[in-house]
């Protein structure tokens, strides 16, 4: 597999790129933690454009240690004042328990995946609340940061 088609598309994109001089702050003061699912268009779903928000994506839209680093940097250096934690319906990470997801990965790869934590979600509402609390309780996050948890219906 080559990347020629993607590199050609990038050349076209780069010819019309207008954000090169942008300073990288979140112009709308927003950060969103969401799933890597390709059905989700984070900026458009909340009416924003490139440069308005920091988008942090991973399987299930979970608040991991790396996401916490990004949130801390966002609120301290990049003018983030609101954080949305957005999971979604019909998410693969909420489709089965951890052990079953590990089994699926193991079957697909032919390698035991039981040693890898995938982050299965058994209760999206409870997980969302816990992830919001994880951000709110972090010692490097200001008390006035607005954090909300949501489940987006795809």
pLDDT digits (tens, 9 = 90+) for 21-44: 678 899 999 999 999 999 999 999
In the chain, pLDDT over 90 holds for what percent of residues?
91
Given pLDDT bands bounded at 50, 70 and 90, which one contains residue 116?
Answer: very high
Given pLDDT bands bounded at 50, 70 and 90, which one contains residue 90?
Answer: very high
What per-residue confidence (pLDDT) applies to 16?
Answer: 86
Q: What is the DSSP letter of 87?
A: E
What per-residue confidence (pLDDT) applies to 66?
Answer: 96
> Does residue 135 contact residue 85 with C-beta atoms inside 8 Å?
yes
pTM of model > 0.75: yes
Q: CA 76 to CA 57: how far, in whole Å?
A: 20
What per-residue confidence (pLDDT) applies to 70?
Answer: 98
Q: Count Cβ atoms within 10 A of the Cβ of residue 105 and give its class: 0-12 exposed, 13-18 middle, 19 or more buried.
A: middle
Q: Count Cβ atoms within 10 A of the Cβ of residue 103 and give its class: 0-12 exposed, 13-18 middle, 19 or more buried.
A: middle
> Does residue 84 contact residue 30 with C-beta atoms inside 8 Å?
yes
Q: CA 70 to CA 66: how far, in whole Å?
A: 6
Question: Across all residues in the chain, what is the average pLDDT?
Answer: 94
């Amino acid at each position: 597999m080559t990347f020629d088609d993607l590199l050609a598309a990038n050349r076209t994109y780069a010819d019309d790129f207008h954000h090169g001089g942008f300073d990288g702050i979140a112009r709308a003061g927003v950060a969103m933690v969401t799933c890597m699912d390709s059905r989700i268009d984070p900026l458009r779903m909340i009416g924003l454009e490139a440069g308005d928000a920091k988008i942090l994506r991973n399987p299930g839209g979970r608040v991991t240690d790396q996401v916490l680093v990004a949130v801390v940097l966002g609120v301290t250096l990049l003018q983030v004042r609101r954080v949305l934690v957005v999971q979604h319906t019909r998410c693969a990470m909420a489709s089965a328990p951890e052990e079953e997801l590990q089994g699926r990965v193991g079957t697909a790869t032919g390698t035991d995946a039981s040693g890898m934590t995938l982050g299965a979600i058994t209760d999206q509402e409870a997980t969302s609340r816990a992830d919001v609390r994880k951000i709110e309780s972090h010692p490097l996050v200001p008390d006035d940061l607005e954090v909300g948890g949501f489940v987006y219906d795809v």
